[in-house]
Structure 1
Amino acid sequence: MNYRYFSPIGAILLMSTVVTQAQSLSSGFMSGRKHGSVSISGTQEWYESVYLVPEKVDQVPIFRRINVRSVSLYANYGITDKIEAVLSLPYVRSEGNADPLVTQNSPYTNVREGLQDVSGLLKFKVYSTELGSSLLNLLGVASLSTPVSNYKSEQGLEYIIAIGNRATKVSTLGIAQLQTASGVFFTGQAGYSLRSGRVPNAFVAETKVGYAGPRFYVDGWAAFQQSASTGTDILQPGFDGDFTATRVDYTRLGVSVFRPLAQGFGLVLGASTYVSGRNVGKSTGVTGGLAYNF
């Protein structure tokens, strides 16, 4: 059976927040042996309100409004038809809007930036079967993420704008994707992430529906995270100023679009927003980039 679709997974760069990766680096597509892609994208995010406990607040403490800009490199490569490797590295600039009287002669600064965390994963196709005119694929993923620079994320309200939590993360995921002959697909994935230091472990999941065809790709997705109850809540009893120890939950909705241009190159566009959460900014983000598929 021939399934006519264009698989631009390497091109769909994933919007991220300062602290957590909001969308999975894994999709239900496989590039195939000796095929893959290289992408570069830029993302702009902003937020003023924050999902705290017991309720959302309308302004970020001290910094009032936060803007996050990032540039990400992404590459994936099919080692075999059933094994694929993925690598991602973002450079992040987080900028607050604290009053100059606050930042003058104090540890507070309105800007923190640097290389964040390098992420690598291996994806395995473990099962594939035809269901009528559709194809069902089951995949497994093992990933590792760790800081690559000496950026700081320590105790103190000045680290509200830290570019990451300096945790090493080891995660596993299971993915199921149903791909129809028309190019429409449905994907679901779920897994667990172990984090070092005081960062709570977390259950992560994502659902996605889209279309992958020879002329364009589009999807809509919802990403979820539920942190372990061992985490603390910002400015609540038990919170000692260490933001890495907070319990971060969220639901984020987004869309991604890829349009092939010429000779393997293509344009990447996307947008996303948080619709609920815990100890996380209610950010909205847009992204754009260029990908080369081979």
Structure 2
Amino acid sequence: MKKRIAVLAPIMIATSIFTNGLSAQGPIDGFFSTKGKASISLSYLSGNYDEFYVGGQEVSPVPAHNEIDQTIYSIYATYAITDNITVIGSLPYIKKEGNGSADPINGTTEQSDFQDISAFLKWAPYIKELANGTMTYIVALGGSIPLNYEPSGILSLGSGAPGLDGKLGLQYKSNTGFFAMIIGGYGLRGKSDNNFNIGTGDKFDAPDVVNAVLKIGYTGKNFYLDAFLDSQTSLNGVDIMGPGFAGNFPETIVNYSKLGGNLYIPITNFIGASIGGGTIIDGRNIGKNTYYNGGITLNL
């Protein structure tokens, strides 16, 4: 019942004002390749927003910058250690540019650099064969390490805090190719450097998060298609302009609900192409971003 299909996931999509809550639908699903198979995906993403949530209130335009454009180039790789264990790695390069005044924290109108390098181990401990399909149980554990970018300010590329994430999920796939997946997780976040001595302390405490993804779609010989709802809730932190906020952006609550979808088409057995997009439909301390992405996947 195993069918291998390489799917380009829009990994680490930057959607927040200051990119403190970097997330995406995520690198985890219920599809597994056969032992020894590998893939490398290269993707391009373009996003833009001029509205954002200060706390839970939607306002426009973005303070100081008015409007923010962002571009992300990502490399995403997978390797099947066994038929039901896959290792996943990703690295994004992010560019953010404001169309107004300079960032009030670090004095810039543009930031660009590599963001967080991340890796996950995905495991299917049990695959149940059903009369009309299969049910795959999913367990995943992974983490991220921030690289040398500036974490403070509206245009920062990330929170600058290391992360450790665990996920559990289920995916049903029918014999005709239709599938549905639900997966939830908990993310521990570490400390970020207070480079500009904002507020108190030499480190910021980035909020821990819980997240969930619901996905439905179709996978077959000629194409893969999905639609997803992705959500995140911070378990602590402060609101922008709320009590305890003193420009300490890495400590800010970042909640969101995001809708999107992806289409992947294999061109040959070796290479395939993907397109997709998404939009923030609700949030807290996050840019109301709409993005579009495309990429190629090499199946090794």
What corresponds to 1:153 in structure 2?
Answer: 151
What corresponds to 1:7 in structure 2?
Answer: 5
SS in 1 for 2:268: coil
Taking the TM superposition and a 5 Å limit, the aligned residue runs for 1:274-285 are 274-285=280-291
1:241 is aligned to 2:239: no
In 2, distance between residues paired with 1:15 and 1:180? 29
Q: How far does residue 103 in structure 1 lie from its aligned partner after superposition?
A: 7.1
Q: How far does residue 12 in structure 1 lie from its aligned partner after superposition?
A: 3.0
In 2, distance between residues paired with 1:151 and 1:195? 17
Q: How far does residue 37 in structure 1 lie from its aligned partner after superposition?
A: 0.9
What corresponds to 2:48 in structure 1?
Answer: 46
Decide whether the 8 Å contact of 2:143 with 2:163 is kept in 1: yes
Q: Identify the range of structure 1 (261-270 vs 12-21) with the bigger mean alpha-carbon deviation.
A: 12-21
Q: How far does residue 190 in structure 1 lie from its aligned partner after superposition?
A: 0.3
TM-score by length of 1: 0.92
Deviations 1:26-71 (A, max 9, x none): 1111112011210100100110100122410011111110011010
What corresponds to 2:165 in structure 1?
Answer: 171
Q: How far does residue 175 in structure 1 lie from its aligned partner after superposition?
A: 1.6
In 2, distance between residues paired with 1:107 and 1:83? 43
In 2, distance between residues paired with 1:167 and 1:270? 28
What corresponds to 1:208 in structure 2?
Answer: 215
SS in 1 for 2:48: strand
Give the alignment partner of residue 194 of structure 1, picking from 180, 188, 196: 188
In 1, distance between residues paired with 2:208 and 2:121? 20
The 3 A distance-change label for structure 1 pair 133 and 103 is: closer
SS in 1 for 2:160: coil
Decide whether the 8 Å contact of 1:13 with 1:268 is kept in 2: no
Residue identity in the other structure for 2:10: L
SS in 2 for 1:244: helix
In 2, distance between residues paired with 1:246 and 1:63? 19
TM-score by length of 2: 0.90
Taking the TM superposition and a 5 Å limit, the aligned residue runs for 1:246-257 are 246-257=252-263
- Structure 2: stretches of 5+ with no match in the other structure: 192-204
SS in 1 for 2:82: coil
The 3 A distance-change label for structure 1 pair 254 and 76 is: same
